[in-house]
A and B are shown apart, each in its own frame.
Chain A
């Protein structure tokens, strides 16, 4: 089977190279059949990659340890779900997943855009083909998942940290996000290459961008939850370089999703938008480079390898290509529309963009500086949490406030008197919240207090938006409240879906502020019967248990939990000893309060031979709002993504003249 896997990857490389070369030739020479042939090659590359992926999955499920990759990342005792997720548990499999997602996205994107933007797709095909060439070459020539060895009796097993349900979904979603950003990039480059500066590249990629952005956002939250449960240090985000690697393209894509609205509404910011799309894609490549090359020390450093130089070259090519194309098309990208006022919707979106990009570049600097320093000066420099926390407050808090202001400011210009009237209620709610928080003793953390006050402001504006919109619709149509509300959202999906996403960001901000600015921690060594008290809880160490699971020995310290005079049951924390992998993992104990969103979080740092255990115990207020934010975020994205028949009809009418008028029969 290894031969089939290798052959399939070689075929993918050939098809991608053909899509690149024949696609470019077809576009430059205006050859219709050659362009269709290149497009077919790009679509076929997905199926050949699927064959390679199926071979690898079969290798894992059949315990085929003659495949070095399977032997290195699986074992006979590994549970079924983790045998599947072991596919992306190492570098070669991750790269194969990247390629599979890329070719899948490419096939779907060119197929769905074939009518409305046919002349654009001709130029998009070679760009997507070029990206696929890069990744398929890595898999064929540098780091193959189909290298064979004399089969050992059993494999090395999977890194225990990856034996977690979140690791089944987190990498896939992250890659759906990273790789999905290749689609808007390819269409933007296709537009620049072809000289088509109309909006079709934006229309063609709108949904792909939101899908990629949503997947990247949810993937990061799942990764944070994994870190919270599995890594066992008491937090969910450590500003680890690989975590930052996913955050940076997400921030750039967030900026783009806002600034593209200005291009759609006012025809402005064309240069800025193609720059942001390119930045997001290049950062997604940089993120993959950080994850896969092992150039940085990180909790993800199980991915050490030698593909770094290839990736670096790939990033350089992508950056040089995008900068050159933008530079060459600058005269056509310039528009006559100008910002009319610094107090307008487009101005607030611009401020939002500047803050998002500033935050993104600050994180990039903090992430890249240790690498650059080590490469240039030979000194390892650590950029720690205070650096990131400082800039998160500096840029993040104004961003939070702008989320409430932006949607309520008029396009073109707004008067300060008008704004004062529109924002009177939200400002009053925010002020009341701030005063109440100080009265209840939350003034101990100024950033936390500001974050909560701004959050109240944004939530008030969102609530006001929904109620005003519903009332206006009722006044116009006489509909009942539920009907008016659902039709209001249904007919303005991007706007109201956006508000729901904003609400999720507010929940995230409240959860992060609560769990980081107002948390409590205590630590100490306990013998049986001894207690520790923290944040109103009292925990008494009861006993130690040991159990043999499928592939690990589970040691758990059992603690009784009390708050006030009430018993809240027990909580267990301990360690898993993995026999095949010869590793030990921390298994934390978490007790969530569904009503308050607070977590009691117990780490058994050290289990001693005499039965004593060194515990670290946290109380994290509101931390569960972070995970709730993920659900709300998905809801908002789905509302935004849901197809709008009226919008589709309008676009079909607009593009009937350019794409579908000369529909030819030979398009498949």
Chain B
């Protein structure tokens, strides 16, 4: 009896999305379109570049990294950060795509 009650309860939980939305406007799964993916990757690259620069500054300030090593790397990191920011601006300026259609397949 308790087993049957448990079975009924889980069936309701599993069926909940269909019970709540018997006839939805769209049943399509939200997937990232190409523009969104590019934007996400650009944001990750930006965060990576800025974090690297910040860490280098902190390491140098704390004396973990010598002046010589600092000078050898800081220019490269600054260029990377500027490039990442430029790329993010470029991607952000692009028009956003919509949700993918139901027939479309993910990569």
Contact = CB atoms under 8 A, between A and B. Distances in A.
Interface of A: 3-4, 6-8, 11, 15, 18, 26-37, 40-41, 43-44, 47-48, 51, 118-119, 122, 194-196, 198-200, 264-267, 332, 408, 410-415, 417-418, 421-422, 465, 468-469, 471-472, 475-476, 650, 654-655, 657-658, 662, 664, 666, 668
B82 interface: no
Interface in B13-67: 13-18, 20-21, 24, 26-32, 36-37, 39-41, 43-45, 47-48, 51-52, 55-56, 58-59, 61-66
Contacts of A8: 3, 6
| Contact residues of A: prevailing secondary structure | helix
Contacts of A36: 16-17
Contacts of A668: 16
A417 B73 contact: no
B56 to A, nearest CB: 7
A658 B41 CA distance: 11
Contacts of A44: 10, 13-14
Given A412-B73, A666-B20, 16 more contacts: A4-B3, A7-B4, A8-B3, A8-B6, A11-B6, A32-B24, A48-B6, A267-B44, A410-B65, A410-B70, A421-B66, A422-B66, A472-B58, A654-B40, A658-B39, A666-B17
A505 to B, nearest CB: 20
Contact of B72 (A29, A48, A199, A415): A415
B7 A11 contact: yes
Interface residues of B, number: 59
Nearest to A39: B17
A196 B62 contact: no
24 contacts: A7-B4, A11-B3, A15-B10, A28-B106, A30-B102, A32-B29, A35-B29, A118-B30, A119-B32, A195-B106, A198-B40, A198-B41, A267-B45, A411-B55, A411-B73, A412-B77, A413-B69, A414-B69, A415-B69, A475-B61, A650-B47, A657-B39, A658-B36, A666-B21
B68 A37 contact: no
Contacts of A264: 48
Contact of A31 (B13, B29, B100): B29
Q: Which of B17, B26, B58, B66 has the most CB of A within 10 A?
A: B17
B2 interface: yes
Contacts of A469: 62
A91 B12 CA distance: 33
A138 to B, nearest CB: 20
B80 to A, nearest CB: 10
Contact of B51 (A265, A413, A664): A265
B93 interface: no
| Contact residues of B: prevailing secondary structure | helix
A666 B24 contact: yes
B3 A654 contact: no
Given A41-B14, A413-B72, A265 B48 contact: yes
A138 B73 CA distance: 55
Contact of B105 (A28, A37, A198, A658): A28
B63 to A, nearest CB: 5
A209 B2 CA distance: 36
Nearest to B44: A199
A651 to B, nearest CB: 9
A332 B106 CA distance: 14
B31 to A, nearest CB: 5
Nearest to A7: B3
Given A410-B73, A411-B52, A471 B62 contact: yes
Contacts of B106: 27-28, 30, 119, 194-195
Contacts of B69: 410, 413-415, 418
B95 to A, nearest CB: 14
B34 to A, nearest CB: 12
Contact of B44 (A332, A408, A654): A654
Given A15-B14, A30-B100, A411-B73, A417 B32 contact: no
